[in-house]
Amino acid sequence: MSEAATQTEELHALLGTTIAERYRLDELLGIGGMGAVFRARHLLLKRDVAVKILHPQLGANDDISKRFDREAQSAARLDHPNIIPVTEFGSTDDGMKYMVMQLLSGKELGELLGEPLDPLRGIDLEIQILRGLEHAHNNGVIHRDLKPENVFVTTDHEDQEILKLVDFGIAKLIDDDDDDEEGAVQPLTRLGLVFGTPRYMSPEQATGSTIDHRTDIYSAGVLLYQMLAGRVPFEHDDPVSLIRMQVTVEPPPLPDTIPLPLQRVVSMMMAKSRDQRYPDARSARKALQAVQAQLADDAGVPIKMSPHDTGLVDPRDIYPPGHEALESNPAFRAGSGSHPGAASGSGSGVGVSGPYDPSEHSGPMETEASGPISTSAATMPPVSGYEAPKPKMTQMSLADALTQAHPTLQQRSPFAEWMAAIPRMWWYVGGGILGLLLIVALWPSGSDDESSDEGSSSDAGDVALVGKDDDGADEPVEEAPGVDEDTLVAIDVALSSKKEDEALDLIRPARDKLPDDPQLLWREGKALAMKRAKSSRVTALERYGQALDHDPSLTENPDFYGELNVLLRVQTIQEEAINLALQKLGPAGHNFLIELVNVDDPRAMLDWVARHRVLDELSRHPDAMKLVDVKLNLARDLYQAGESPAPCAEFSRALTSIATAKDLYFVEHVFGVSPPAPGSDTEDAAVCETLDAKLVVVRDLYAAAHPDEAAQYTSSGPGKRQKKNR
């Protein structure tokens, strides 16, 4: 029998066995070179999970064993909607390595790539890949093996496509001891072989050179190319020839139908020199979002936004490199390569064109059929840095410019409302969907409309807004309060630099003047959330709540929503988080509340009172209740009945519902639970007297409906088992 056949036979022999005393391996889902993935049943939580097992024969191989550990360690430190979560890993008593992951329903990305995807769909999928990479890179993990097989496509409860990065088997933790320099790691090689997949491998990875996070940007660029073209850029039967092509050959041109700005993004992601690529996944994502905005506008379709693009307005999205607002902070200085429009090359004499600039296109996006996508000096003009085109004069208000160029800013702060009333200004939008350079100025005097002379002020710092009365005459309007723009930018610079105390020093005097300004309250909440003390985080929640009091539309802002959702999940302030979600968030808080009542970990579950506060809110919303694990919560009602105001009445109610259901799920619970002690209420004490008999009746019902399963919990069965805590 061959070695592969022997391994397969050993893996099939594991079916039906239980590892780590709680994961029963029920189905073999797939076999790979290193191991296999099983559908498993968590026997305590009654949930299906995916369990990856290292081939038993390979466990003794030190290199392979370390690679398996690397995958588990890499994935376990990541927590992002676009990365598959690893909840546990370890070794069994006999030395077999395993890791436990979320069980996904869907398909590999490769199953979608038999033909070109619609550009908007391809962009949306690629943005999700880049979001996952942003999170991984920010947490010191480089994937190093991006390919369609390692990108899983599933759907959420709204049937929207969700991508999950999987298989961090050759990922690298940047803070490992063998790093040569900051952010750079040695290639993973063995006996002259380079680990990775040649079709998607970056040139530096292919040549065994030192790599950093930009190797993932190249591989993501290849995936985007394949989604748009329906084929990979390089193909060859000989892996060595394929690697050589990745290093020396320019990719063939994309189809004529692909808009030129989108081709430019692919070109920059796939630059042979990593110094000519986007400096990070964030920059690539923002460039794609700029193209997405224009394509969606041309097609007349809405843009899909995500609450996971978190963070307040980044100063790099407002000012070009070299601006004094950035030069004052080393993290944002020109030449740092941190801005999507900055040339990141150093000393090469070859630059790259920046991301799509909407100011260059007044109509639908152009496409270009001539010539291959190239990043060579022959096709990419040298640049020394980001150079913004001259601002264009327009009648568009600042708020309208924000709405068009930055869809995540649909809602207006009081400051934006105030600015929207100013009819003439200079503005420029450049460098991506978030790349806003807003230069606002009033004409010194006059207007194209002669009637606007009256009521205007020559002092731009003290503007009196005017309106029209019923007779058409100007009448004064009280100036709407707003935060000084420079103050907001300074606060955002401090927050982006993780200098929460510096931000608070700016926020507090501003709030003395405008105590109810939602933008200031939001920023104060974000600054306080950066502190680890419980009291600071409780106050942070209060500030987010106060911001919502004064501007309820903030729940529609993905930045605000994303930040608040992170804060809500801090375990030490759970009670306060529940209060905020119930009192202020409405439907926007339902996802958080659903997570709380469906939590798998018994140690993190809510007590009866808190859980029923949440369930009472969700029960008013049928769509939300569809996502609640009713069976799990009904079983918990049995175990937690003693915490309710009327323990015996609550136990009886739950038992009645379970008796009606006769669901296999409840077998172990009806045989593993005991009636609670009676409460102080006389009426409840009377109910308690009937519970023992009622429980016997329900057990008899379940023994008749599910005899084989029930036999495991009765004295007549092969082994009496009791499960006590859910």
Cα–Cα distance measured from residue 669 to residue 662, given in angstroms and rounded to the nearest whole number: 12
Range in 21-25, 397-401, 591-595 with the lowest mean pLDDT: 397-401
pLDDT at 265: 94
Provide the pLDDT confidence category of residue 298 given band limits of 50, 70 and 90. confident
Q: What value does the mean pLDDT take over residues 591-620?
A: 84
Structure tokens at 357: 């600039």
Say if residue 61's pLDDT is above 80: no
* Six token digits for residue 548: 């919502």
User: What's residue 57's pLDDT?
Assistant: 67
Comparing 491 with 362, the larger pLDDT belongs to 491
Confidence of residue 463 (pLDDT cuts 50, 70, 90): very low
Q: φ, ψ for residue 251 (rounded to 5)?
A: -65, 150
Q: What is the pLDDT of residues 535-582, one digit of tens each?
A: 999 999 999 999 988 998 887 777 787 788 788 878 788 888 888 888
Q: Where are the domains of the chain?
A: 3-101, 107-304, 629-726
Entry pTM: 0.46
DSSP string, 528-541: HHTS-SHHHHHHHH
Q: What's the whole-number average pLDDT of the chain?
A: 73
Number of C-beta neighbours around residue 338 at 10 A: 19
Residue type, 515: P
Residue of 145, 280, 357, 551 marked active site = 145
When pLDDT is cut at 50, 70 and 90, the band that residue 208 belongs to is: confident
At 421-436, the pLDDT tens digits run: 433 322 223 333 333 3
Higher-confidence residue of 266 and 55: namely 266
Which of 204-213, 425-434, 712-721 is predicted most confidently? 204-213
Average pLDDT of the residues in 426-455: 34
Task: Read off the pLDDT of residues 99-141 as tens digits, 9 standing for 90 and up.
Answer: 999 898 899 999 999 899 999 999 999 999 999 999 999 988 8
Comparison of pLDDT for 225 and 589, the residue scoring more: 225
Both tokens of residue 110?
């490769």
Residue 722 structure tokens = 């009791």
SS3 state of residue 72: helix
In the sheet that 392-394 helps form, which strands lie side by side, from edge to edge? 392-394, 425-429, 436-437
Helix or strand run (H / E) with residue 616: helix 608-618
In 307-451, where does DSSP find H-type helix?
324-327, 398-405, 414-420
**280 is annotated as an active-site residue:** no
Give the DSSP letter string of 115-160: SPPPHHHHHHHHHHHHHHHHHHHHTTEE-----GGGEEEEE-TT--
**DSSP at 283:** H
- The predicted structure's pLDDT at residue 11: 82
pLDDT at 481: 60
Contacts of 486 (CB under 8 A, 6+ apart): none
Domain 3-101 falls under CATH 3.30.200.20: yes
pLDDT digits (tens, 9 = 90+) for 270-279: 999 888 899 9
Phi, psi of 469 (to 5 degrees): -85, -175
What is the pLDDT at residue 284? 94
- Domain 107-304 fold is Transferase(Phosphotransferase); domain 1 (1.10.510)
52 is in an annotated binding site: yes
**Overall average pLDDT of the 516-535 stretch:** 92
The answer to whether domain 3-101 and domain 107-304 are alike in fold is no
Q: What is the DSSP letter of 181?
A: B
Asked which of 365-379, 598-612, 654-668, 693-707 is least confident by mean pLDDT, the reply is 365-379
Ramachandran bin of 586, using left for φ above 0, alpha for ψ from -120 to 50, beta for the remaining angles: left
